[in-house]
Homo-oligomer: A and B are copies of this chain.
Amino acid sequence: MSEARFDVVGIGSAIVDVLAHAEDVFLSKHDASKGTMLMVDENQSEALYKDIGPAIEASGGSAANTMAGIASFGGKPAFIGKTMDDQLGGIFAHDIRAVGVHYDTEPLSDGLATARCIILVTPDAQRTMFTYLGASGSLSAADMDEELIASSKVLYIEGYQWDLPETKKAIIRACETATKSGGKVALTLSDPFVVERHRNDLFDLVNEYVDIVFANEQEITTLFLSNSFDEAVEAVEAVGGRVEVAALTRGAEGAVTVTKESLINTPAMPAGKVVDTTGAGDLYAAGFLFGYTRGDDLKTCANLGALAAGEVICHLGARPEVSLKDLDVKLD
């Protein structure tokens, strides 16, 4: 790879989050499994929206949140994801550029609206998500800027995209572009149900292209059909393919960084009272990848991940409210 223009390029859904508080009984009423992501169509999204309490809107999207986090640390990220040319699309584009992420995917001029994710935060600070993909599901090969992907140190992709056959194909091509140009590929497994729906495909992807895997406990055990987290860790250590590191998060129990040679435990670092876990995994990946592309050792990468996740869980919303660069300086 010639000199990289970007540290990380993320490909994912361009989504505006609609965040509201809800009680557990409200989730049961809507047949939602707490802590997971449900796909809904436009009508379901509208019906649910009518039923929820007052909300706030904030830009979201898993990979987009991770890129925003890397920018907040002072890194150089780029993002590829599809919006519509509507008010929410304008909000998404503004926010990701305003934090310093390179973003120039052409929005749709008509058709489906910009994606919305209704996020219900229960009193235990857990988040449950109802995603209407809208325009973000139209991401295709035409949007994959090969020059951009080839000039990034890491390509970061979402398991979420495996629900979209066209997008998935385009992303696999992007993985080829990245590896051919000497870049690394990082994948987040995104959601246990996503892993369940696409286990074989994701397993093949990991073996063929992925250098760095991000997953939480449920996702990694689902991928390896393991009975416990420890069993899943053993499965990761034994995995063939090109995986060099698995960055596994365990909520309040912190994170485990697994390579063939080592296993590093990192405690969680909540910055205060935990009020909303939305974005915890995304920001863990942000800190980790910021450190990784800067050349830090894996222990420091994991600490940076815990630091970023620890900030985002102490307020409503999935993106940092303060400069992570400033927090990073304090960590030193």
Q: Which residues of A contact B (CB under 8 A)?
A: 21, 49-50, 52-59, 68, 86-88, 91, 94-96, 98-99, 113, 317, 319, 321
- Give the chain B neighbours of A319 by CB distance below 8 A: 54
Q: How far is the CB of A21 from chain B (nearest CB, A)?
A: 8
- CB pair B94 A56 closer than 8 Å: no
- Give the chain B neighbours of A49 by CB distance below 8 A: 94
- CB pair A57 B56 closer than 8 Å: yes
Q: How far is the CB of A4 from chain B (nearest CB, A)?
A: 25
Q: How far is the CA of A304 from the CA of B317 in the complex (A)?
A: 29
Q: How far is the CB of A158 from chain B (nearest CB, A)?
A: 20
- Give the chain B neighbours of A56 by CB distance below 8 A: 56-58, 317
Interchain CB contact (< 8 A) of A54 among B50, B55, B68:
B68
- CB pair B58 A95 closer than 8 Å: no
Q: How far is the CA of A56 from the CA of B21 in the complex (A)?
A: 16
- Give the chain B neighbours of A21 by CB distance below 8 A: 321
Q: How far is the CA of A53 from the CA of B96 in the complex (A)?
A: 9
Q: How far is the CB of A49 from chain B (nearest CB, A)?
A: 6
Q: How far is the CA of A96 from the CA of B54 in the complex (A)?
A: 7
Q: How far is the CB of A37 from chain B (nearest CB, A)?
A: 21
- Give the chain B neighbours of A55 by CB distance below 8 A: 91, 94-95, 98
- Give the chain B neighbours of A91 by CB distance below 8 A: 55, 57
- CB pair A98 B58 closer than 8 Å: no
Q: How far is the CA of A96 from the CA of B53 in the complex (A)?
A: 9
Q: How far is the CA of A98 from the CA of B50 in the complex (A)?
A: 8
Interchain CB contact (< 8 A) of A98 among B52, B87, B98, B99:
B52
Extra 16 A-B pairs, beta carbons < 8 Å, given A53-B99, A54-B319: A21-B321, A50-B94, A52-B98, A53-B98, A54-B68, A54-B94, A54-B95, A54-B99, A55-B94, A55-B95, A55-B98, A56-B57, A56-B58, A57-B58, A57-B91, A87-B88
- Give the chain B neighbours of A321 by CB distance below 8 A: 21
Identity of the chain B residue whose Cβ is nearest the Cβ of A19 in the assembled complex: B56
Interchain CB contact (< 8 A) of A86 among B52, B87, B94, B95:
B87
- CB pair A98 B54 closer than 8 Å: yes
What are 14 residue pairs bridging A and B, where the CB atoms are less than 8 Å apart in the complex? A21-B321, A49-B94, A50-B94, A52-B98, A54-B94, A54-B98, A54-B99, A55-B91, A56-B56, A56-B57, A56-B58, A86-B87, A87-B87, A87-B113
